[in-house]
Chain A
């Protein structure tokens, strides 16, 4: 069974600060996805990374897939209150389904 760990578990920052959250595993994944989930809703896909070392940018969000495809990071620049939510990473489990990490709960205070 492939497992994903995420850190930190909780993060509370002021508006305008930068932050990085991490997703780590001892297993290799063929692809990895990042989602944001708000209370009472399902997760919403932010990005999929496929190639080791790949960097993708989505406005103020920068996603990186580790060279060995075992880890990933999400960096947010100049965080805004609208970024508040649960950030989940999910790794491809042999092409059939995804294994999710426990998430990082981010709170951005105005």
Chain B
């Protein structure tokens, strides 16, 4: 079956611009996670959705970052006034019910480069 998909696969933007990154989770998965992975590091948690609501957004670094999941399926991560330090691979994962014992399935990521 189809896994988690993310679009675009690569995004190059200029400092100060606005970007949107999209995640299509596995059908039927209620939990959705966004992570950011910088070069040479492990994924860093950003936000966790349970259905349409953000159950935990403690990892969002500042108010330039925002994510939505209006129908409990597709999610969009939005970054305003991008900075060079935002350059990283943004990973999305979904799981059936969420929680620490449920398997997270990751997408291939979106590589964001801010010039």
Contact = CB atoms under 8 A, between A and B. Distances in A.
Chains A and B are bound partners: yes
Majority SS at the chain A contact face: loop
Contacts, number: 57
Contacts of A31: 100-101
B79 interface: no
Interface residues of A, number: 24
B21 to A, nearest CB: 14
Interface stretch (B12-20, B37-45, B61-69): B37-45
Given A31-B101, A88-B43, A41 B56 contact: no
B88 to A, nearest CB: 13
Given A30-B100, A45-B104, A95-B100, A102 B55 contact: no
Interface of B: 4, 33, 35, 40-45, 48, 55-56, 59, 91, 93, 99-101, 103-109
